[in-house]
Every structure is written in C-alpha cells, then in structure tokens.
Structure 1
Amino acid sequence: MTTTATAAVTTRGLTKRYGSRTALHGIDLDIARGGVFGVIGPNGAGKTTTMRLLLDIIRPSGGELRVLGEEPRTGGAALRRRIGYLPGELHLASRIRGRELLAHYAHISGPVRAGVVDSLADRLGLDLARPVRSLSKGNKQKLGLIQAFMHEPELLVLDEPTSGLDPLVQQEFLRMLHEVKRRGGTVLLSSHVLSEVQQAADEVAILRAGNIVKLATVAGLREAAVRRVRVIVAEADAPALQATLERVPGVAELRVSGDLPGTVGVEATLDTHVDSFVKALAGHDLVDLTIEEPDLEQSVLAYYDDEAGVQ
C-alpha cells in the first residue's frame, strides 16, 4: 500500500471553492512513485483544478496535499524544479525561436543534459529553428512537451498532453512515458480520452463534478468491463448451449442468429472474467468462438450517468 512517505502525490480532503461554487469536493489521492497515474473526466470535472493545486498555481480552500514529500505552498522553486508541467492551455512567447525559448525554460527549471533537447525534438519531429509564432497547434504542443520532459524531472504533470498531436507522434509520446517509468519517474496524466489513458496509465481516477467516483487499476477496469462474445455451434447443440449460458454469471442479452448452413450463432454480453464463461463451454462442440476486447468507454461512461450518483 502506498504511504504518505513513499507516494509521489498525496491529498486528503482536498477542496477548492470559487465563491459559492465548489470545484473539488474533498479529493483523497495516493499516487505511487514510478508509475503513470491517469485522471479521466469530461471538461469541468476538476482535472485541471487538481493539477494547479498540486503545483501551487492556485491554493486549496481546504484539505492537505504533499508533492514529492513536500507541501507545494512551502516547497518553492526547489520543489518546482523537480516537476515537469504541461498545462492544458499552452501559452508560449511567440517572438523568439523554439530553441531560444527552451534555453530560457532550462535556465528556470534547472540543468538539462547535453543533447536531450535535440533528441526530444528529433523524436517528436520539431524544427527548433522556427519562430514560435509560425508553429501550428500541434508543433506548439511538441514544444510544450519538450520543456516538460527535458530536465528529466521526478514528477511529470501533463494536462491533456496529446492535444493537437497526430497519431504517430502520440505513439512516440507513449514511448517517452514508458521511459520515464523505467528510470523511476512518476507521471500524472489527465485526459477526457479514455483510449489515451488506457494505453499509458497503470492506475486511474475517474472524476465527475469535482468528486472521485472510481479509483482503479487499468487492469481492474478492463476486468470489469463489458465484452461482446459470440459462439458458433452445430444447429442441434444451440438449445443446450443457450441453456448453459443462461446459467453463467455475468452473461446477458443472449441472442440466437443463423450462421453457416447447419450452424447457429449465440451472441451475448459478458461483464465478468472470461474464465467461468470459457469453462461453461467445455461441454459443447464449438465451431468458432469470438471474445471482443472489453468496452472500457462504456464502463467509464456509466460513472457519468445521472443515476450513477457520486460514490
């Protein structure tokens, strides 16, 4: 279990109010060192507010928080040099070239190893000689990623980091995250795109209206997600198969359809581990079996339904 002493980020009852509006309702988090932690939620869920509180850009209305063992309010510049940050709304000075801007950030953030900036620029496909004002949204995002990664911080806080990036660059970004993990760094990543977090994160927090409605590992979300399954058997065996599947926990929405001559397809949804489902099929002579990847999108969207409430 992650403790306050070993966690990269710890919050207890973290609250943020703006006048009569409460943006965060008592958030409790323990983010272990050496992994990627994803925060999922729609716009307005509290993702950016949480990150700004951790960086002391804004101050909490209540609760406690520690980042890399220190309180952000008193950690000052020394603590911030241990952190790389990419804001969701990136504003860059436009009158200078990319390389000059990164040199300025390097002076602020601390030493940058020789060759790191050029290596990151090559990997992301960014020309550092171009003026910032001439860069597209995607290229400005690359510049923002370089400034966050270049001093190899202990903690990366990345708010919607792949916004504007093409799919090939997104894959390179994922490789960069895995490298951070291998060297023992920690990443806090926010997104409203589940597939992005699914590929990168070890654990996730699902935010809804300033509340954490679910804390889970990605593997745990996958385990509990709904899968679609399809079993094809000889026509004569279809009634017996249907009767079997009706007794398997987690099987629902059974539907029988015609298939190839002499065979029948039985389709269903499965919201539990595939082990019991596969074992139940052992007594039947299968022609074919398809188990689709779990639909994590539907699992997460369920937490945003009005009827789901806040847990």
Structure 2
Amino acid sequence: MTTDTGAAVSTRGLTKRYGATTALHGLDLDIPRGSVFGMIGPNGAGKTTTMRLLLDIIRPTAGELVVLGRPPREGGAELRRRIGYLPGELHLGTRVKGREFLAHYAEISGPVRKGAVDDLADRLGVDLGRPVRSLSKGNKQKVGLIQAFMHEPELLVLDEPTSGLDPLVQQEFHAMLHEAKAKGQTVFLSSHVLSEVQQTALEIAILKEGRIVEQSTVAALRENAVRHVKVVVAETDAADARATLDSLPGVAGLAAAPNGPGTVALSATLDAHVDAFVKAVARLDVIDLTMEEPDLEEMVLAYYGTDVSSTAEPVEADRKAAKR
C-alpha cells in the first residue's frame, strides 16, 4: 500500500488472529483527514483490536495499515506523538496527582499549549489536585480524555470515550469533538451505542465479528432506516386506506386496530420511500398521522442479530503483546 493515500487511516485486508480465534477478517477501511469517523459494534466485534493495531500496541497477522502516511511499525514514537489515544479499558491506579500525571504524559506526547490542561479540566469538571487513584470512574475517564486531547494531535483514537461520563459531560465532550474537527484534526471513535456516534460522526462503520457489515454516512443510514408510522382514519374509510397503504413500496407489517369511537389506526413500518407514502396519505381523509424519527438503533440491531452480548475481545492477549 502506498503511504500517500490522503487518508488519516487506511487499511487493506487487515487481519488479526489469536491462535485459532480470528478477531479481524480482512478489514478495508479509509478514514478521511479532518473527519469524525465512528465504529459501531457489540463487545467482541473487533473495535478495540482495530484501534490497538493503529497504535502498534499489537501487530497484524496479515494485511496493510497506514496511519498519518506511515505504517505504525515504522513510525515508532514519532508517529505516536501525533496521535491522542484513549483506551477502552482505562486503568489509572497511580498515587500521583492528576496534574503530575498529565505533566508526565506531556513530556511523552510532545508540546502542550500553556493553559490547555487547565482549560480541559475546567470544561470537563475534574479536580487535578487529587491523587488519580482516588478519583471515581467518571473522573478517571475525564483525566484520560485530557491526556488524549491536550497536545492537539492530528489523530484522536478514542475507544468508548463516554464510558462513565454523566450526560452533561457527554455534551461537553461532543462539543470538544466538533472543535477538533473544525481545527482539522481527525477523530476515530468507537462505541457500542449508536446514539453516541450519530451525534458527532459524519460516517460510520458497523462491525460484527471482525467484519464491516455496513459503512455509510449517518445521513444515508437515516434516509434508509425504518420509520414507524400510524395513520388514523374513520372506520368507514379503513378498508380503502388499508388497500392504499398496502400497495405502497416500503410499507411492511401493516396492521389495523380500533382507535376510539368510529376510528381505526393503521400501523406499519416504512423504509426510504417517504415521498410516495406522504403523497398517498394526502389523498386519504386522515384524522391523525404519526411518523416517528428513523430508528437507527433498530437498524443496527438487525445487523447484530442476537450477538449484542458476545464475549469481550481478547484484550489479555493484547496486553501481553504490548509488553514484548
């Protein structure tokens, strides 16, 4: 693979095996520079493995990988200083205070703008004067975020970044992502919660059992996602309304139920054919119409099937590899 791809991250046939277990099956991925890219998948899908490969914490079994124009194995410490990384399993047991902890990482990661750490701590609401080990899970996560963001890296790799954060801090984190994108930084974040990613990412990849089963923009996914619709008509018009809706493209699961005196509610799901549906309904004598927001969660769960609680990725093997 050429290193001059114009993308922040490019992979071709990226494969990772742990003995007889294959965590990644030939991943092809391109993350444009200056974008926010989300990877969705249940535990065990391969999200953490992908991110650790980018950092050269572990190495691929097969395939090619280029990060910021260089293969991670060749880029070494110089490349890693251009990346901000928040691991999914954050273990901060140190006795030192938060400020000292971050000062140590600043020496490793490179120059940190004066006041940047304090600005981030104020935004996230964390006391850096306390020993890190005494902090709650949420506050440790905030320290981890500061460590990733403080040197304003070209690429942010964030594994389950909002784990343990309360809703108000999550909103502040989303603002930080938008600001990073505005400054030209690239963000690659993972989650098993779609709603978290769709608020910030332009494009997402849905990962299942080490394979990308869908890659699209959030807008395109929304356009094609299933909507739940309900049309209320007079009981005398129900048969004609049902025949009209039943003949439309994209309508499925049409059902009728009493909705009060003299009325019937026709419920169904609708895919991308919204225009045809609205035009058909406009010709009916409608008492009430409800069309819910596209349910992207439902769409993603359809890809997962029953695999939403699969076992976690083999992180212990990753840790051993990191110690080599």
Q: Same fold (TM over 0.5)?
A: yes
Q: Are the aligned partners of 1:93 and 1:101 in contact in 2 as well (CA < 8 Å)?
A: no
2:74 is matched with 74
Match of 1:167 in 2: 167
- Asked if structure 2 preserves the Cα contact closer than 8 Å seen for 1:249 and 1:272, the reply is no
**3-state SS, counterpart of residue 162 of structure 2:** coil
In structure 1, the partner of 2:205 is 205
**Within 2, Cα distance between the matches of 1:226 and 1:81?**
43
- What are the ranges of 5 or more consecutive residues in structure 2 without an aligned counterpart? 308-324
Tell me, in whole angstroms, the C-alpha distance in 2 between the residues paired with 1:282 and 1:93.
63
CA deviation digits over 1:20-49, x for unaligned, max 9?
221111100011111111111111111111
- Tell me the equivalent position of 2:244: 244
Match of 1:5 in 2: 5
Per-residue CA deviations over 1:259-287 (Å, capped at 9, x if unaligned) read: 24343221111122311111111211222
CA distance in 1, matches of 2:203, 2:181: 13
Report the alpha carbon displacement of residue 4 of structure 1 after superposing the two structures with TM. 5.5
Secondary structure, counterpart of 1:200 in structure 2: coil
After superposition, the C-alpha distances for 1:100-152 in whole angstroms (9 at most, x for unaligned) are 11111111111111111111111111011111111001000000000001111
Residue equivalent to 1:304: 304
User: What one-letter code is carried by the residue in structure 2 that aligns with 1:130?
Assistant: R
Aligned to 2:124: 124
Query: What residue number does 1:231 align with?
Result: 231
Q: Aligned with 2:199: secondary structure?
A: helix
User: Is 1:60 the equivalent of 2:60?
Assistant: yes
Query: What letter corresponds to residue 49 of structure 1 in structure 2?
Result: T
Shift of 1:93: 4.8
CA contact (8 A) 2:82 2:155 kept: yes
8 Å CA contact 1:85, 1:148 repeated in 2 = yes
Match of 2:312 in 1: none
Match for residue 114 of structure 1?
114
* Alignment partners' CA distance in 1, 2:249 and 2:24: 37
Superposition pairs for residues 127-276 of structure 1, below 5 Å?
Answer: 127-276=127-276
CA distance in 2, matches of 1:263, 1:61: 63
Say if 1:156 and 1:206 are closer, same or farther in 2 by CA, change over 3 A: same
Corresponding residue number in structure 2 for 1:35: 35
Asked whether the equivalents of residues 10 and 29 of structure 1 are also in contact (C-alpha less than 8 Å), the reply is: yes
Does the aligned pair in 1 maintain the 2:249–2:273 contact within 8 Å? no
Question: Which amino acid is 1:245 matched to?
Answer: L
Distance 2:240 2:184 in 1: 53
Q: Which has the higher contact order (CA 8 A, sep 6+)?
A: 2
2:98 matched residue in structure 1: 98
Displacement of 1:238 in angstroms is 2.0
Q: Deviations over 1:174-225 (max 9, x none)?
A: 1111111111111111111111112121111111111111111111222222
Over aligned residue pairs, what C-alpha RMSD do you find?
1.6
What is aligned with 2:320?
none
Task: Give the fraction of aligned pairs with identical amino acids, expressed as a percent.
Answer: 73
